[in-house]
A and B are shown apart, each in its own frame.
Chain A
């Protein structure tokens, strides 16, 4: 149950947004997604497997991403996820919602 704690606790719902954003650059496998988020966030955000794979499955069910087996850069078979048109639309929705919430939080924090 306690998959996200400590410094890398994500706001609820943001994980899916991060995955969508990552996949909007190019199709990637799960490990790649986790690495990408970690690298770009300079290790502030760590996506745990316990959250990542269930989230990916959820998104598959919702039809935001599709998956197929391909050969990875190091010549291994890996499952690559691709953003679907529905996923792209969803990314827009999530982005605008996030910026709204983020903006709101910042406004609150700046008020002294």
Chain B
């Protein structure tokens, strides 16, 4: 464009143009003077001409405007002006900066977490094509979804998939690395050979697993992460080809993954920590009906999920492809019901459990930011009112309203940018400090969580929007009144006083602020009430009491050390005998799957002489003294004893729930009857019921009590006894746990100890997600309340200053201190009450999103609503108290004289 070129040229010839313009205008002035001189005297004419030419400075500016990139030039000017003003008013600047830094910092931190978990592309090529396969059936109580597949189903599907480029399988396992320093528990996954091909990322050293014909060769291979290679394997450059021992089995390292590689196994309840060891799947040839493999598919380009699902659905309903009856942790697919195959994006699936939470938190933080913006806007408004004189003069001198608004907006945007700089810094620190403390169970993360370009762009956008929000309303409002003042000034009239509309607007803003704060507070209140409800539920066992606390130490016994049930039984018996005599141990026992321990094995069972029950029962394997140690009341019969050995007659203890469902005559009726475990690989013979115990909650406080059939550890020969948790009730948990470790090490030196926790800790961990939700929302509500308190205080303090005269008159006319207090507090109360009404309406509409997080509390819980409302009203009154006190001290004489 020619004009653009000319304007660019101007940038270099600016001086000349200025000079030209200057001379031209002088010429014009003289010519005008000459022509006027014909009518009047010389001097008079010159003065008149100059007057005519008027604001010559402004004229020059405006004449130059077409040439310049006006916005850039005035922007620089405005920014300088803004910085100057910020320096001149440090109190305002600091308050505004702190508020904005808090608001923008919180938003940035939360957004970076949400972005990392929900949206950041996974570190694989075309991550959008990676999907997890599931099967769903319409059941009585909604849709039943099964996420894991039997190895036979995987093999059959992998042979016939048209919609997928690759279909891989994985299962996360517990693994111990031994022989390289201390035994080490490492996150591991067993994967199908094509796993890395499916992800699209493979080892940088060595090779991937061999597929097809070579697969058998890789039976004892392992691929390790860069992290493990650098730490436990000491970054040995010749590691490929060397042997490492995993779960007692020597394996050859065939590959090392690249440094930025990351795979967090996605499982039903979220994600597990990043895997460090990848082993080839043992599943080929497994004809079992246990469904434990997660299937990860890579869709062919241009194949939609819908097409893939249609194709899969046809396959899963074919009994020759997916054999019916495969048992997954979620249950069994019914044989005669149509099964629908589903595909869920890897990220979508992994983030599923926290998606709602993160969106809620994002919403909450947006509220906090808005509330913060309102505060700064109000401050700005008050400040602009004070600066009205300056603005009027500028407008009287010819500054356009638009120009003034633009300058005021620049001020607030500069302010919010500065706030954002601090905010981002704050966010960095907050993320670095808090994120490592948040467990994977609470916040599954697939991608990295960090403040990168994308997050920064979001912050900048947020900042500009905040700047506009803060600046626009006050600027428009004040520039209008200033314009009127300016005109008045021009006409030589006195400046008008009073500030009605501005104050009304400020009041409205604070009302909005109170409303938003109330919504946040009610959200936090609901979660808090729900949390109290949840934690007051009894788990059914006594995690801690007068006799001390229950500590557990868990180990897993690999096949290599313990090749049969006899060795396992002997090991368990030996260690337990010694633990019982450790100093400080009140009682001790063991169990294969302790409550609140992540694992729950349940299955079908039968009762002799009765139709088969239509529900499943848990089947923990326990040693003598278990109920005494755990503090589970025995309701009838006896506990297991040392006499219930492998050779003795088979016995079982059932829980109250089973009695309730199956023995209408009560516990007495159950004693002496015979029960049998069916289905799984721990199917048993008939066992005589010798005792009835109280119910416990096994999976979580928010779950129903589980029907249980307890079996003596020594009488169970299944693989399920490879998991052993020693439990001990003690008043000195630390030394006892150390003692148990020592005993285990003495019996099996190469065994890694998986976990040592007290039952209190286990229960606490199970309520970690709701506690986390409560804390996060509570924190935001607190921040919002603090900011809103400042808002109310600011409004009232300002109002008192503005109404000094009015109050002075009232006092002069005999108003008591009490009346003045009532005047100010009454006004504050009206503002807060208006906000509360608005907020209550908003909360009723909004708290529904919390429904899935609430336990025993409805989204419109009256207790939370009333308590929170009362608290906020009180806070509002306290905020208004100081300005009210100041109002009572106004001296009428002085107040009246000041005007």
A interface residues, Cβ below 8 angstroms from B: 1, 29-31, 34, 49-50, 53-54, 56-58, 60-63, 67, 69, 76-79
**Chain A residue, CB-CB nearest to B54:** A50
Contact B27 A54 (CB under 8 A): no
A53 touches B59 (CB 8 A): yes
B860 at the interface (CB under 8 A from A): no
User: Which of A58, A61, A62 has the most C-beta atoms of chain B within 10 angstroms of its own C-beta?
Assistant: A61
Of A30, A50, A67, A69, the residue contacting B62 (CB under 8 A) is A50
Contacting pair A61 B6 (CB below 8 A) = yes
Residue in A30, A53, A67 with the greatest tally of chain B CB atoms within 10 Å: A53
A83 to chain B, nearest CB (A): 16
A53-B25, A53-B28 are known; give 20 further A-B pairs, CB within 8 A. A29-B24, A31-B28, A31-B31, A50-B54, A50-B59, A50-B62, A53-B59, A54-B59, A54-B63, A56-B63, A57-B63, A57-B64, A60-B66, A63-B3, A63-B6, A67-B20, A76-B27, A76-B30, A79-B24, A79-B27
Which of chain A's residues have a CB closer than 8 A to the CB of B25? 49, 53
Bound complex: CA of A90 vs CA of B7, how far in Å?
A: 20
Contacts of A58 in B (CB 8 A): 66
Output the least CB separation between B771 and chain A (Å). 61
Contact of A79 among B23, B30, B52, B65 (CB under 8 A): B23
Could you say which of A50, A61, A67 contacts B67, with CB atoms under 8 Å apart? A61
Docked-complex contact A1 and B63, CB < 8 angstroms = no
B3 contacts A49, C-beta separation under 8 Å: no
What separation, in Å, do the CA atoms of A53 and B59 have in the docked complex? Answer: 8
Main secondary structure of the interface of A (DSSP, over half): helix
Distance of A88 from chain B, by nearest CB (Å)? 16
The answer on a CB contact under 8 Å between B398 and A49 is: no
Give the docked Cα–Cα distance between A2 and B62 (Å).
13
Kindly state whether residue B500 has any CB partner on chain A within 8 Å.
no
Q: Mark B364-400, 1 if CB is under 8 A from A, else 0.
A: 0000000000000000000000000000000000101
Chain B residues within an 8 Å CB radius of A60: 6, 66
Query: In the complex, A56 Cα to B54 Cα: how many Å?
Result: 19
Is B2 an interface position by the 8 A CB rule? Answer: yes
Contacts of B2 in A (CB 8 A): 63
Residues of A within 8 A of B65 (CB): 54, 57
| CB within 8 Å for A49 and B23 given contacts A58-B66, A61-B66 | no
Q: Are B27 and A29 in contact (CB under 8 A)?
A: yes
Contacts of B59 in A (CB 8 A): 49-50, 53-54
- The answer to the question of B601 belonging to the interface, with a C-beta cut-off of 8 Å to chain A, is no
Provide the residues of chain B in CB contact with A76, threshold 8 Å: 27, 30
* Chain A residues near B24 (CB-CB < 8 A): 29-30, 53, 78-79
B32 at the interface (CB under 8 A from A): yes
Give the A-binding residues of B (Cβ under 8 A).
Answer: 2-3, 6-7, 20-21, 23-25, 27-28, 30-32, 52-55, 58-59, 62-67, 398, 400-401
Q: What chain B residues lie within 8 Å of A77 (beta carbons)?
A: 23, 27
The reply to whether B3 and A61 form a contact with Cβ atoms under 8 Å apart is yes
The answer to whether B21 and A53 have CB atoms under 8 Å apart is yes
CA A67 – CA B55 in complex, angstroms? 24
A16 → B minimal CB distance (Å): 12
B34 to chain A, nearest CB (A): 8
- In the assembled complex, the CB of B491 is this many whole angstroms from the nearest CB of chain A, namely 13
Residue of B nearest to A53 (CB): B63
Question: Are B27 and A57 in contact, with the CB atoms below 8 A?
Answer: no
| Nearest-Cβ distance from residue A70 to partner chain B, whole angstroms | 12
Cβ-defined contact, A57 with B67, below 8 A: yes
A96 to chain B, nearest CB (A): 23
- A63 (CB) vs chain B CBs: closest residue: B2
B751 to chain A, nearest CB (A): 85
Q: How far is the CA of A60 from the CA of B65 in the complex (A)?
A: 12
Most buried by B among A29, A50, A58, A60: A50
* Contact of A61 with B7 in the complex, beta carbons under 8 Å: yes
Q: A30-B24, A49-B53, A79-B20 given as contacts; is B31 within 8 A of A57 (CB)?
A: no
Instruction: Given A61-B6, A63-B3, answer yes or no on A49-B28 (Cβ-Cβ < 8 Å).
Output: yes
Cα A38 to Cα B881 with chains together (Å): 68
The answer to whether B7 touches A78, judged by C-beta atoms less than 8 angstroms apart, is no
Which 9 A-B pairs rank lowest in CB-CB distance, beginning with the nearest? A58-B66, A53-B63, A31-B31, A57-B66, A1-B400, A61-B66, A54-B62, A54-B63, A79-B24
Closest approach, in angstroms, between the C-beta of A81 and any C-beta of chain B?
Answer: 10
List A contacts of B52 (CB < 8 A): 49
Docked complex Cα distance between A1 and B98 (Å): 38
In the complex, what residues of B have CB within 8 A of residue A50's CB? 54-55, 58-59, 62
Contacts of B401 in A (CB 8 A): 1
Closest to A59 in B: B66
19 A-B pairs, CB-CB below 8 angstroms? A1-B401, A29-B24, A30-B27, A31-B27, A31-B31, A34-B28, A50-B58, A53-B21, A53-B25, A53-B28, A53-B59, A54-B65, A57-B21, A61-B3, A61-B66, A67-B20, A79-B20, A79-B24, A79-B27
